Structure 1
Amino acid sequence: MKQVILAAHFPGVNNHTVWSDPASGSQIEFSSFVHLAKTAERGRFDFFFLADGQRLREQRGRIHDLDVVGRPDSLTVLAGLAAVTDHLGLAGTINATFNEPYDLARKLATLDHLSGGRAGWNVVTSSDAFTGENFRRGGYLDHSQRYERAEEFVRTVRELWDSWKADDLDVDPVAGTFAAENAGAFAHQGAFFDIAGRFNVPRAPQGHPLTIQAGDSDGGREFAAANADAIFSRHGTLQDGRAFYRDVKARVAAHGRSPDSLKILPGATFALGDTDAEAQENADHIRRQQVSPQTAILLLEQVWNRDLSSYDPEGPLPEIDPLVSDDSIIKGRTRQTSDPLRTAAQWRALAEEKRLGIRDLIIEVTGRQSFIGSPARVAEEINEFVQSDASDGFILVPHLTPTGLDEFVDKVVPLLQERGVLRAEYETTTLRGHLGLGESV
């Protein structure tokens, strides 16, 4: 029976965070990160996952409401968490477009040493000039080149990590020198990077810190199949999950890798109750908190690419069509659809069929994979996804910071442990070990 992989996503900067709930705490104080991480470790989760962003997002020229607390640096937070956790993996999103291989390889190797082999990074890309302005690189990278640069970036980082071998740490006690004189020596010449020198951090405990990739596009799947240890995906049903699983695992094999060497981990939310009916009531309440009237209009604007602030959130969809233009109303955020006219037509049909106003429609169409029910039902459904090869586990996104994971750990985790699909105690010391991947050699 397959083991269920679980990760905890800190929900500070995503659409599903409920800011207005009285139980919601700070999105940026270190105590919030500590609480969620320690809760995840108490639940014997595999890793803690932290999002990141290189610029405050904007819509209609105004800072996006989810960014009001700023966007703290992932690696700094994870380094702090390394000191207050013992087993939990620590993974953060890092942009391969606006970083340099040497600097990032050094930081990740350092985190892996500080944590005893628990570091991981989620490789993301960006091609927009808006984000590039923070780096004086506005528009320099064509969209088609983002994965090309990312692939060379990952390859270069791994070359740097591999520049130290195990015997480079052996010291001659008489001469006081390294056994290998070439420790840290590297030279890379490629389309995007031309660097040479000596890497100054000894080989990390994991060899290569865990590499995660987020994306469901064809390019993203291919990139993950060739380079990643895990893929952060989205799919809402068992059928869709199985199709994605088969597709990506086949791509992995085509790259000469074992299908088990890439773990598929969709993001998922959850809502619990003593009964399934109570859980559904809780889920409905949470969704209405997540999609306020203001948020509904903002999300609709992201498809229509127009200022819709004058529309009634409880009223009908606009009769005008989305504005198809290269100039997006949202900045610093990926567009939610590649075909806005088609999406608008689908939403209009759904709204007419179910008699939905704007807010109720947005609530229905923007929900992600969610487990709703009693603890027993949620444990059963999570296990069914994994055992039927619809995923290898889940990255759970609670709706509250920092206590949103507490109920899951208290009520669902014991049931997964009783089934024998989730560890009762940690048996390995590294993040790669937790996921059954072993040290990268």
Structure 2
Amino acid sequence: MTKQMHLAAHFPGVNNTTVWSDPGAGSHIEFSSFVHLARMAERAKFDFFFLAEGLRLREQGGKIYDLDVVGRPDTFTVLAALAAVTERLGLTGTINSTFNEPYEVARQFASLDHLSAGRSGWNVVTSWDAFTGENFRRGGYLAEDRRYVRAKRFLETATELFDSWRDGDVPADKASGRFLARAGAGAFERHDEQFDIRGRFTVPRGPQGRPVILQAGDSEQGREFAAATADAIFTRHGTKEAGQAFYADVKRRLAAYGRKTEQLVVLPAATFVLGDTDAEAAELADVVRHQQVSGQTAIKFLEQVWNRDLSAYDPDGPLPEVDPVVGENTVARGRASVRMYRDPIATAREWRELAAAKNLSIREVVIEKTGRQNFIGSPGTIAESMIDLVNSQACDGFILVPHVTPGGLDPFADKVVPLLQERGAFRTDYTGTTLRDHLGV
């Protein structure tokens, strides 16, 4: 029996997925771009629209990183505005638990849930570096275990605020036509090692009660945090084998928290390149990869691994013979990808072996090592691949990341979604009104 999948649309953040040089590439600032992607996702009956957020512009060599977007609007502002131009699509955003405060974030999400009639979702993340913390009064660095302690307490506190209003706390005064809160409505008090607050929460309970909780950490702490608290978890695992291992691992953790396997939805991020035939798609995918990683971009990626200035190197030449500088990365600041190379010497060795085996240049190595194309083929091939992954328990669906914004989702919605619907692998219409309804959590 074909299992019905979940689909979400990611408005791309700042990375080498987006092809800025494509004639169809638009603004990451103008509201019309967000509207286009969100409305297309809703037309295709997607579960939700997802907007990532960074708290500081990333730097490399003391300058703003070439692929960063200067001027991206605030996440809550965009999502609240999208609530007015969509009707059923879930609206989710990344909001940091390290440098924000529970009362403020809970009030914003409760407001969004009311404005959207129950379609809000919160991707709870932590921040890993002091560089980002410099933007905040409570700056500094938190070790990974401490970040997740704060995130856990943060979410617990926000949940207490959401739950401080109960059904019936806002009865109507029929004579005056007003609504009057009952005594005690919204009252909260929290005292622990992270927060020392008390007062009265100002926003009544939203249509969902609380926003859908999403989580993106892949570490041991992140997986445990998701098993305990999240409704959905994002993952980077792109192969069937890696996906099945991750899926089985996070699902088995749920029982310890009294939860069932269906209470956590596993959603890998996925890119796609469509063609009329598989051969045409393969040719286009190669073009896209070279557009995503220019020579200049290849050198920037290499510097993140080597932790040294490599601007004098030819991207079409061989990898540097010098080894990476081990220790704190002082070249690239604020980039999460730096954390992926915890052993830069081993990474350099691996890249050199690849280059020697295939006679690859710097740019060609970076293209091969940073490729993000999960699905390449005709609409039928991509639909079958997605169905197979979901039925094989490698995931419950996908967060699609188009390489052109804002119109990159359009061909998928027009050509692949109808095939998924014909196979019974995706809904033909919404059956509920809230994001919880869409996800079944």
TM class, shorter-length: over 0.9
Instruction: Determine the C-alpha separation between the residues in 2 that align with 1:270 and 1:61.
Output: 34
- Aligned to 1:168, the other structure's residue is in SS state coil
Q: Please give the residue correspondences for 1:271-350 in structure 2 after superposition, counting only pairs within 5 Å.
A: 271-334=273-336, 335=338, 336-350=340-354
Instruction: Determine the C-alpha separation between the residues in 1 that align with 2:246 and 2:172.
Output: 49
Instruction: Determine the C-alpha separation between the residues in 1 that align with 2:292 and 2:257.
Output: 41
Shift of 1:171: 3.5
AA of the residue aligned to 1:21: D
AA of the residue aligned to 1:220: G
Q: Does residue 391 of structure 2 align to residue 387 of structure 1?
A: yes
Q: Does residue 268 of structure 2 align to residue 266 of structure 1?
A: yes
Structure 2 length-normalised TM? 0.96
Question: 2:406 is matched with which residue?
Answer: 402
Moved more, 171-180 or 150-159: 171-180
Question: 2:214 is matched with which residue?
Answer: 212
CA separation of 1:369 and 1:388: change in aligned 2, threshold 3 A:
farther
Question: 2:79 is matched with which residue?
Answer: 78
Question: 1:358 is matched with which residue?
Answer: 362
Question: 1:56 is matched with which residue?
Answer: 57
Question: 1:100 is matched with which residue?
Answer: 101
Give deviations 1:251-306, integer Å, cap 9, x for gaps: 12222211111111000100010100000011111110000101111111111111
Instruction: Determine the C-alpha separation between the residues in 2 that align with 1:376 and 1:7.
Output: 19
Shift of 1:142: 3.6
AA of the residue aligned to 1:348: R
Runs of 5+ unmatched residues, structure 2? none
Contact map agreement 2:28 2:72 (CA 8 A) in 1: no
Q: Does residue 121 of structure 2 align to residue 120 of structure 1?
A: yes
Q: Does residue 130 of structure 2 align to residue 129 of structure 1?
A: yes
Give deviations 1:46-78, integer Å, cap 9, x for gaps: 000001011111011010122243332111000
Question: 2:170 is matched with which residue?
Answer: 169
Instruction: Determine the C-alpha separation between the residues in 1 that align with 2:172 and 2:350.
Output: 67
Moved more, 349-358 or 158-167: 349-358
Contact map agreement 1:79 1:114 (CA 8 A) in 2: yes
Contact map agreement 2:238 2:268 (CA 8 A) in 1: no
Contact map agreement 1:27 1:69 (CA 8 A) in 2: no
Instruction: Determine the C-alpha separation between the residues in 1 that align with 2:179 and 2:265.
Output: 41
Instruction: Determine the C-alpha separation between the residues in 2 that align with 1:328 and 1:214.
Output: 26
Contact map agreement 2:304 2:329 (CA 8 A) in 1: no
CA separation of 1:349 and 1:260: change in aligned 2, threshold 3 A:
same
Shift of 1:170: 2.7
Instruction: Determine the C-alpha separation between the residues in 2 that align with 1:328 and 1:170.
Output: 58
Cα RMSD after superposing both structures: 1.5
Q: Does residue 426 of structure 2 align to residue 425 of structure 1?
A: no
Q: Please give the residue correspondences for 1:19-38 in structure 2 after superposition, counting only pairs within 5 Å.
A: 19-38=20-39
CA separation of 1:177 and 1:415: change in aligned 2, threshold 3 A:
closer
Shift of 1:157: 0.4
Structure 1 length-normalised TM? 0.96
Shift of 1:129: 1.5
Moved more, 370-379 or 302-311: 302-311
Question: 1:253 is matched with which residue?
Answer: 255
Instruction: Determine the C-alpha separation between the residues in 1 that align with 2:402 and 2:128.
Output: 29
Instruction: Determine the C-alpha separation between the residues in 1 that align with 2:73 and 2:16.
Output: 17
Moved more, 69-78 or 137-146: 137-146
Question: 1:376 is matched with which residue?
Answer: 380
AA of the residue aligned to 1:376: G
CA separation of 1:144 and 1:324: change in aligned 2, threshold 3 A:
farther
Contact map agreement 1:127 1:139 (CA 8 A) in 2: no
